[in-house]
């Protein structure tokens, strides 16, 4: 999985497991590749240090409220001409290539934030044994997808969706998705709502399904081009057209999966100790003392 030679970007693959008690079970990335990052020169460091003034709270609330409208206007201005078709996805994401090669049945893909279809249509053209669910924040972008010559209901289902609040299960069957993609999508979402978008996607993944993530990396050239007055928060900026962009570091990307994963780990340990104590009471007194001694040694070694 190689990085694009354009701007520095962060690539993270997050696997999803079977949901438990309504919560997605997350595990740390099985593969994570990021650029080594740009070394900022003195002028760039001075620029970042000096740019500490944030956009007003009123304007930030307005941008959040009008986020869908701003993306719809973006596609009205640019139609299907802004982004190039992404013929590099199977080259960059080795996991996707493996799925396409070894999937015995039809591969089910979710393209979250599909735009006008620059990612899904090259895949549909390349592989006939694939079905794609495609959603986007912008209704206009979804219409462009449906108007594409390769679009047909037998191979693709496109729909409008706000990943942070619209339940994907209304359009995608639970546990049917093999691979979900988030390509330059998460950065457009407010950092406070990113986890909601991820949880939404994990609910429709198959056990063992994966999310392929690629987005803007910290200090890349796109970030350094922002002028003073465009900063919304830490590594979060607004463009002139009202669309927003967040810039990820490797640690921040991986951290997105941590809260729910930690909860599942805690529940697993609780289950272990419940079973442990139940079995303990069934043992003779002499055996109990030995078990308690071993347990205390374990806690001392792995906790302190």
**In whole numbers, what is the pLDDT of the chain averaged over residues?**
77
CATH number at residue 34: 3.40.50.150
What secondary structure, in 3-state letters, does 115-179 show? CCCCCHHHHHHHCCCEEEEEEECCHHHHHHHHHCCCCCCCCEEEEECCCCCCCHHHCCCCCCEEE
Please tell me the pTM assigned to this model.
0.72
With tokens 């008690």, the residue in question is: 21
Could you identify the residue written with the tokens 């996991």? 95
Instruction: Flag whether 261 is in a domain.
Output: no
Q: Are residues 239 and 133 in the same domain?
A: yes
Q: What pLDDT shows up at residue 43?
A: 86
pLDDT at residue 206 tops 60: yes
pLDDT computed for residue 195 by the predictor: 92
- Whether residue 41 is contained in a domain is answered as yes
Are 32 and 112 within one domain?
yes
Angle between helices 139-147 and 67-78 (to 10 degrees): 40
Domain boundary among 256, 274, 294: 256
**Of residues 278 and 205, more confidently modeled:** 205
Question: Do residue 190 and residue 292 come from a single domain?
Answer: no
The percentage of residues in the chain with a pLDDT greater than 70, rounded to a whole number, is 68
Higher pLDDT, 249 or 181: 181
Give how far the C-alpha of residue 39 lies from the chain's centroid of Cα atoms, to the nearest Å.
Answer: 26
Give me the mean pLDDT over the 133-158 stretch: 95
Note whether 231 and 275 are same-domain residues: no
Same domain, 206 and 286: no
Long-range contacts of 78-87 (CB under 8 A, 24+ apart): 79/116, 79/144, 80/116, 80/144, 83/115, 83/116, 83/118, 84/118, 85/118, 85/119, 85/121, 85/122, 86/118, 86/119, 86/122, 86/183, 87/122
- 249 plus 280 within the same structural domain: no
Same domain, 61 and 140: yes
Q: What is the pLDDT of residue 83?
A: 82
91 and 58 within one domain: yes
Q: Which of 235, 106, 118, 139 minimizes the C-alpha distance to 181?
A: 118
Domain that holds residue 86: 9-256
The stretch 282-290 carries a mean pLDDT of 57
Establish if 115 belongs to a structural domain.
yes
Q: Are residues 297 and 200 in the same domain?
A: no
Could you tell me if residue 205 is inside a domain? yes
pLDDT at 293 over 80: no
Give the per-residue pLDDT at 88.
Answer: 81
Q: Which residue has the higher pLDDT, 8 or 201?
A: 201
Which residue has better confidence, 268 or 291?
Answer: 291
What is the per-residue pLDDT across 217-242, written as a single tens digit (0 to 9) for each?
A: 998 889 999 998 999 999 999 999 99
* SS3 (DSSP) at 220: coil
Q: Is residue 4 part of a domain?
A: no
Are residues 292 and 211 part of one domain? no
Say if 35 falls within a structural domain. Answer: yes
User: Which pairing describes strands 236-238 and 177-183: parallel, antiparallel, or unpaired?
Assistant: unpaired
Q: How many domains does the chain have?
A: 2
Are residues 274 and 203 both part of a single domain?
no
Would residue 1 count as lying in a domain? Answer: no
pLDDT at 104: 64
Residue 223 forms part of a structural domain: yes
pLDDT tens-place string over residues 56-102: 999 999 999 999 999 999 999 987 877 887 878 877 887 777 776 66
pLDDT per position as a tens digit, 98-141? 776 665 678 899 999 999 999 999 988 887 788 999 999 999 99
Residues 157 and 295 reside in one and the same domain:
no
């Amino acid at each position: 999985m190689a990085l694009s030679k354009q701007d520095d970007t962060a690539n993270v693959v997050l696997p999803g497991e079977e949901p438990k008690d309504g919560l997605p079970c997350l595990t740390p990335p099985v593969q994570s590749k990021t650029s080594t990052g740009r070394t900022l020169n003195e002028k760039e460091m001075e620029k970042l240090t000096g740019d500490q003034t944030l956009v007003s709270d009123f304007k930030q609330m307005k941008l959040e409220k009008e986020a869908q409208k701003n993306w719809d206007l973006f596609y009205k201005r640019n139609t299907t001409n802004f982004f190039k078709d992404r013929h590099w996805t199977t080259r960059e994401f080795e996991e996707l290539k493996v799925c396409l090669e070894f999937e015995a049945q039809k591969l089910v893909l979710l393209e979250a934030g599909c735009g006008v279809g620059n990612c899904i249509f090259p895949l549909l053209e390349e592989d006939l044994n694939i079905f794609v669910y495609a959603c986007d924040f912008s209704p206009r972008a979804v219409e462009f997808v449906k108007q594409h010559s390769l679009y047909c209901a037998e191979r693709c289902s496109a729909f409008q969706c706000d990943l942070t609040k619209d339940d994907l299960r209304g359009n995608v069957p639970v546990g049917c998705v093999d691979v979900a993609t988030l390509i330059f999508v998460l950065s457009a979402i407010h950092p406070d709502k990113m986890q909601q978008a991820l949880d939404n996607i994990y609910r429709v993944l198959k056990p063992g399904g994966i999310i392929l993530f690629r987005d803007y990396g910290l200090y890349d050239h796109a970030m350094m081009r922002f002028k003073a007055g465009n900063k919304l928060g830490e590594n979060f900026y607004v463009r002139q057209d009202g669309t927003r962009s967040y810039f990820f570091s490797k640690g921040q990307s991986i951290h997105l999966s941590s809260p729910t994963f930690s909860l599942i780990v805690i529940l697993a340990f609780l289950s272990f100790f419940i079973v442990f104590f139940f079995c303990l009471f069934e043992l003779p007194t002499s055996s109990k003392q030995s078990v308690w001694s071993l347990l205390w040694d374990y806690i001392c070694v792995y906790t302190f």
